[in-house]
Structure 1
Amino acid sequence: MKPAYIFGIIAIVYFLGMAFGQDTLQFIFKPLLVSSLLYYFVLSTRLVASALKKWIVAALIFSIAGDTLLMFANASELFFILGLCAFLAGHLFYIYTFHQIRTRHQIAGKWYAAIIVAIYYFLIINFLLPYLGGLKYPVIIYGLVISFMLLVAMHLHDLKDNLTARYLLTGAILFVVSDSVLAINKFYQPYPWGGWAIMITYVLAQWLLVKGLTRYINTTAI
């Protein structure tokens, strides 16, 4: 079976678990979502030697760790903080990967991209700030990191391979949307549709990032 199909089946089973309130299915299949994407990436790029591969693998491993830790966030705030740290590390590896691609292709980026990202960051942090309590500084730092990840992905919009650029930019945007909804749902007010919005955008984000990076590795060794 093709690795992409394995990811698709796991995603379908996970969302069925959400739809029917089957916590056991969600518990089992949530860590498998990005694990299957890691398998897809490794298998799809196995014939290509690239210095970027290890950083992408690291980003996915830390994402898996983050998914796993956040499953226990309701039991203890410590698991939420550890999950946040794991995803922060994953974003740093994505940032490094994007930066290496940008450097290789000598992409300067657009000046207005920084303004757009800064406005997003200012608005979301100022909205959440009164509700963050003791997690104020971790959330502020995490917001900075994911905002920078989005900024670097926006710079990659100028890649000659437009499809790869669209995969990466859309994936980064959806990742920011997912984390923003998660933060609003957790700190401001939980919404009935919150869990669905978080997971649908997150799963699509990771899929598009992996799809784009796989395409890049297979077409441009670095």
Structure 2
Amino acid sequence: MLSWLAVCCSGVLHINAAYKGPRWQFYLFKPLTIALMMLIAVFGGEPNGYTYLILAGLLFSLFGDVFLMLPKDRFIPGLLSFLVAHIIYSVAFWQSFEGSMVWWLPSLIGAASVIVFLLLLPNLGALLIPVGIYITVIAQMAWGAGEFWMSAGTQPAAYAFGGALLFMVSDTVLAFERFKGPFKASVLLVMTTYFCAQGLITASVLSL
């Protein structure tokens, strides 16, 4: 419980610093929040393949966080880091899936992803293909988590699916902020959903 309280405090301090400063607090607490989740997974998760994959996904997410918050924005390296994280999460979820697929789920996720892509399309420019690939990867990651949940019906699977969906929400808001223009509540929305997404995915290793 205290470890999750530390995660929450670290996340809140980062979001607060994004609006009010100081800058050192902004730079410190974003990666620290993910690092604390990694420690929770290390000490609370079973030493198995699923836990190791989630840890690897968190590590690449941490790299992505650092790239995206550098004073000189490294958007492409950040995008690639999160792309790798989503691929790793996807492997973890699909490896945990057993049974028959529910085909209406990818239809819903795919339709939502296409709508987001079409809304962003006029503003993507040279990033059209990288963003399209990223949207495809995160959509199939959420699909894998959803199939995992519907086949297993367990609490860890529910955490994984909830985290994957929140990740889609976070990245969608971030994409609209970057390509359509910033708005005041964007940081709060992006980071709250992002930290909750990573927290749920981390929690999925604790009940296995």
User: TM-score, structure 1 length as denominator?
Assistant: 0.88
Higher alpha-carbon deviation: 150-159 or 174-183: 150-159
Equivalent position SS for 2:188: helix
Between the aligned partners of 1:15 and 1:44, the Cα distance in structure 2 is 26
Cα distance, 1:164–1:7 mapped onto 2, change above 3 Å: same
Aligned residues: 208
Summarize the alignment of residues 190-209 of structure 1 with structure 2, pairs less than 5 Å apart: 190-209=182-201
| Match status 1:16 vs 2:39 | no
Q: CA deviation at 1:113?
A: 0.5
Between the aligned partners of 1:132 and 1:35, the Cα distance in structure 2 is 32
2:56, 2:85 within 8 Å by CA — same for their partners in 1? Answer: yes
Between the aligned partners of 1:44 and 1:161, the Cα distance in structure 2 is 21
- Of the candidates 81, 85, 90, which is equivalent to residue 95 of structure 1? 90
Q: Percent identity, aligned pairs only?
A: 29
Indicate the structure whose relative CO is greater, using CA pairs within 8 Å and at least 6 residues apart: 2
Equivalent position SS for 1:214: coil
Between the aligned partners of 2:184 and 2:43, the Cα distance in structure 1 is 38
Between the aligned partners of 2:100 and 2:181, the Cα distance in structure 1 is 39
Gap regions ≥5 residues in structure 1: 217-222
Amino acid at match of 1:117: I
Aligned residue for 1:83?
Answer: 78
Gap regions ≥5 residues in structure 2: none
Between the aligned partners of 2:205 and 2:51, the Cα distance in structure 1 is 9
Between the aligned partners of 1:160 and 1:122, the Cα distance in structure 2 is 28
2:54, 2:201 within 8 Å by CA — same for their partners in 1? Answer: no
Summarize the alignment of residues 1-222 of structure 1 with structure 2, pairs less than 5 Å apart: 2-45=2-45, 48-72=46-70, 75-76=72-73, 79-102=74-97, 106-216=98-208
User: TM-score, structure 2 length as denominator?
Assistant: 0.93
Between the aligned partners of 1:201 and 1:34, the Cα distance in structure 2 is 13
Q: CA deviation at 1:214?
A: 2.4
